Amino acid sequence: MAAPREPEVIRDKAAMRAWSRRRRAEGKTVAVVPTMGYLHQGHLSLISAAAAASADPVAIVITIYVNPSQFAPSEDLATYPSDFAGDLRKLASTGVVDAVFNPPDLYVRGAGRRGAASGGAISCLEEEEEEAGDGHETWVRVERLEKGMCGASRPVFFRGVATIVSKLFNIIEPDVAVFGKKDYQQWRVICRMVRDLDFAIEIIGSEIVREADGLAMSSRNVLLSREEREKALSISRSLVDARTGALKGNTDCKQIKNKIVQTLTETGGQVDYVEIVEQESLVPVEQINGPVVICVAAWFGKVRLIDNIEIDTRS
């Protein structure tokens, strides 16, 4: 384990790009871990994956930026948890993080929005509706992969994610970027975007880190009441049961999905979706007979949680 070390905090994009270029000139591999902050052990596991990404010395950059454009106006941008000082302490304790990129705002705001709203709790969707001005208007879309699952209930989510990740890639110019498989569809969307747009960046998908009782770690978990958290354990339990069943031959997707929906509903969750899809294409399947992933999103109280489990009945 490395000795604790304070990372450098960089807020300006030109300074970030210059920092990154200096590290590359020193012969280092630059690895980035994009996050929205309120860091937990899941994020720290991505940092470990970044540190192990190359035999060359690795310069690790964590981005902490709550991207307004991936939230629709009805979503939880305003209540998204944050604790920058706590995040810095956790990052320092790893001893391997070199820089934190924490910009105040990464969007050019139109004339009507300049000043007061900059960086605040405002969705770019709202801005588009309110002004047809000179603000940000360029979007990256991964047209098919963004449509189902989380894309169905969060209409601007993947457009916002693909756009901000492209911007971060253009600013930091990393060699490697690490994403968690907890956000499975997001990881696949980024992989496809990188392939299609020829970003010269290796994308690493890192395994889900769970609490001891199985709950997938997530920044939003802090918003759950004790009762909601207890009920939310039904997500990981039902996924593990489905996997165990599938490996024993219960491979009918309709039955598996119905069972998960029933379990989540009976424990007080409100199901957004349960889907069983091919791992890479995210195309829904009717029968499990190859590498698939079961993806779930469900509300417990006011908190929407996602989780998934990969299954390959051939292995």
Ligand X SMILES: CC(C)(CO)[C@@H](O)C(=O)[O-]
DSSP 167-223: HHHHHH--SEEEEEGGGHHHHHHHHHHHHHTT---EEEEEPPPB-TTSPBP-GGGGG
Q: Which of 161, 256, 295, 311 binds ligand X (CB under 6 A)?
A: 161
- State yes or no: residue 36 binds ligand ATP (CB under 6 A): yes
- Mask 32-61, x = binds ligand X (CB under 6 A)? --xxx-------------------------
Q: Does 204 bind ligand X (CB under 6 A)?
A: no
Nearer to ligand X, 103 or 269 (CB): 103
Residue type, 151: G
**Which of the following is catalytic: 23, 43, 109, 159?**
43
CA distance 308 to 313: 16
> Minimal distance in Å, beta carbon 181 to ligand BAL?
12
- Which residues lie closer than 8 Å to 120 by C-beta, 6 or more apart? none
**Torsion angle, alpha carbons of 2, 64, 190, 108, to 10:** -150
Helices 157-172, 184-196: axis angle to 10 degrees equals: 60
Residue 121's identity, in one-letter code, is A
If the CB atoms of residues 165 and 294 are measured against ligand X, the closer one turns out to be 165
| Residue 183 touches ligand BAL, criterion: CB under 6 A | yes
Question: Which of 30, 31, 46, 297 forms a contact with ligand ATP (CB under 6 A)?
Answer: 46
Asked if residue 220 binds ligand ATP (CB under 6 A), the reply is yes
CB of 157 to ligand X, least distance (A): 8
The entry of ligand BAL, ligand X, ligand ATP, none near residue 169 (CB within 5 to 8 angstroms by kind) is: none
Distance CA 191, CA 211 (A): 27
d(CA 90, CA 237) in angstroms, rounded, equals 29
Q: Residue 236 binds which one of ligand X, ligand BAL, ligand ATP, none, with CB within 5 to 8 A depending on kind?
A: none
Show the site string, 169-198: x = touches ligand ATP by CB under 6 A, - = not.
----------xx-xx---------------
Q: What sign has the CA pseudo-torsion 23, 24, 27, 28? A: positive
Residues in the chain: 315
C-beta closer to ligand X: residue 38 or 231: 38
Residue numbers 58-87 binding ligand X by CB under 6 A: 67, 70
Quick one: 29 or 67, whose CB is closer to ligand X?
Answer: 67
Write out the two tokens for 196.
């299609």
For residue 224, CA distances in Å to 84, 167, 218, 242 come to 21, 32, 11, 25
Active-site residue flag, 136: no
Instruction: With CA atoms as reference, report the closest residue to 169 among 154, 191, 137, 153.
Output: 191
Please give the positions annotated as active site: 43
User: Which residues bind to ligand BAL, rule: CB under 6 A?
Assistant: 36, 70, 183
Residues that bind ligand ATP (CB under 6 A): 35-36, 42-43, 45-46, 179-180, 182-183, 206, 208-209, 216-220
What is the binding site for ligand X (CB under 6 A)? 34-36, 67, 70, 161, 164-165, 183, 186
